[in-house]
Structure 1
Amino acid sequence: MSNSYGRFAEVYDALMTDIPYATYVEWVKEHAPAANNQNLLDIGCGTGVMAVEFAKAGYNVSGLDLSEEMLMIASERCYEENVNVFFVCQSMDELDGFNDLDVVTIPIDSLNYVPEQRAVEQTFTHVYEALKTGGHLFFDVHSLYKMDEIFMDSPFTYDDGDITYLWDTEPGEAAHSVKHDMLFYVVTADGTYERFEEQHYQRTYAIETYMTMLQQAGFTNITVTADFTDEAPAIDSERIFFHCVK
């Protein structure tokens, strides 16, 4: 699994302000309350926004990400927020060194950055092995509808005065995959603009395929919802949520 984030780490938080992180944290707390200093691993933790919130909620938190740039920002955030989170730079499909976990999260479509189905399967297997009996896995992914329809409506643009981007998409080689090409202009300290480009690749699968992969890893108690609600997915749902218990 390659590192999909480079300079993007510097602008990530500004572009994610519409994500209801608090709702995500409450979803996890509802089903796996932070009691007795439970061990939680936040996979694809990015800049540490949710890791910090989980730590504040009472979990004993570790964060894992493949991007060193993201983890540097996450560490700074934890220092500023005065919380302790142990961070590891590692690919999720090679998860190693964790055991007796009570909770694992793979939030905000992080799993969609794993390019090969075999690597997704390995991720689920490693997570299952790292969880205690009765432990919880929470993750979300882009739906087929979002990948095949919404993402194909590019170009997308953004301009808040400090960050401007032009975002183009095209179908990837695999089914239900997308190549994202993003051109950024970011205001620097002296008032000039710095230009950089990012290319990301994401892939998703049908709900039934995810269910099969999870069951093959050993999970049998699986609940599927959509779009930050308790409702079952519909044909036009954009984000699919899975809650699995070992």
Structure 2
Amino acid sequence: MSYRRFAEVYDQLMQDVPYESWVHYTEHFFQQLDTPVEHILDLGTGTGEIAIRLSQRGYQVTGVDLSEEMLTLAQHKAQQANAPVQWLHMDITDMALTRSYDAVISYCDVLNYIHEEQALKQFFANAYQLLNENGLLLFDVHSIGYVDEFLANQTFGHVGDEVTYIWFCEEQEKPYSVQHDLTFFVKNGNQYDRFEEIHVQQTHPVEEYIKWLEEAGLELIQISADFHTNPGYDEQQNDRIFFTAQKRK
């Protein structure tokens, strides 16, 4: 999914998102490694909130995204924050990078925008190739319960001074798949501009993600939920499932 005009309002809509919780989760697992983490690859970096925070903590971060609009915003924010992040415009399921990394991260349900099973398998295969020996892959996805019980066939909305939106979330034929139909009204001087976007998200049972990780040669270290660093999850009750895997010899 490549965001278009949605990039203009993304940070306003996500201002209450707990980015620091992702950073805390990430560093928790970095601290378990015998060797220090220096180079991080952030896949689906969006407007760079997590990448910039990690850069400010001293890591060398590369952020990758399919949306040029998102990357433009990320670069501007990084300059303001004096965070020397490298930004790359690429498809995270089809990357051609010449170096490897100590860690690969992909957060905020980025993988739920990869709809086809083969593309997900390719993502994990790419992550394996991009990792140094003993490097970590960390990512999260929506739980199947969250998609079925919270998102499917629901309507959401928000009325603000600068941005107003209506969000219809329609269940799709594929299990655990939803289409987001979003209509935005964005203030432009004395009037509001209207634009629409359609996004599709797909998730899978935890067992399928485990299988794809193993097929890619990655060793599962832990599964947890909702930013907890301790292991354990409930696919029906928890909203977000977190995976930590490692590239072994």
1:14 lines up with 2:15 in the alignment: no
Letter aligned with residue 215 of structure 1: E
Q: Following superposition, which runs of at least 4 residues in structure 1 exceed 4 angstroms of deviation? A: 33-37
User: Is 1:204 the counterpart of 2:203 in the alignment?
Assistant: yes
**SS state at 1:92 partner:** coil
Q: How far is the alpha carbon of 1:17 from its aligned partner?
A: 2.0
Q: Deviations along 1:143-179, whole A, 9 cap, x unmatched?
A: 1011112102521011222111000011123221110
Q: CA deviation at 1:236?
A: 1.1
Q: CA deviation at 1:36?
A: 5.7
Show the counterpart of 1:152. 152
Which range moves more in the overlay, 169-178 or 6-15?
A: 169-178
The Cα offsets for residues 19-47 of structure 1, whole Å up to 9 and x where unpaired, read as 21111101111111498671100000000
The 2-side partners of 1:218 and 1:53 are apart by 30
Same amino acid, percent of matched pairs: 37
Q: TM-score, normalised by structure 2?
A: 0.93
Superposed CA offset, 1:63-107 (max 9, x none): 000000000000001111111111111111102214321011101
TM-score of the two chains, using structure 1 as the length reference: 0.95
Paired residue secondary structure (2:152): helix
Name the Cα RMSD after superposition: 1.5
Contact 2:213–2:220 (CA<8 Å) still a contact in 1? no
Distance change in 2, residues 1:37/1:121 (3 Å): closer
Q: Which residue identity does 1:59 align to in structure 2?
A: Y
Say which SS state the counterpart of residue 11 (structure 1) adopts: helix
- Output the amino acid matched with 2:245: C
Pair 1:131 & 2:95 matched? no
Gaps of 5+ in 1: none
The aligned length equals 243
What is the letter of the counterpart of residue 184 of structure 2?
Answer: F
Amino acid at match of 1:116: E
Task: Output the CA distance in 2 between the equivalents of 1:37 and 1:225.
Answer: 21
How far apart, CA to CA, are the structure 2 residues paired with 1:98 and 1:20? 32
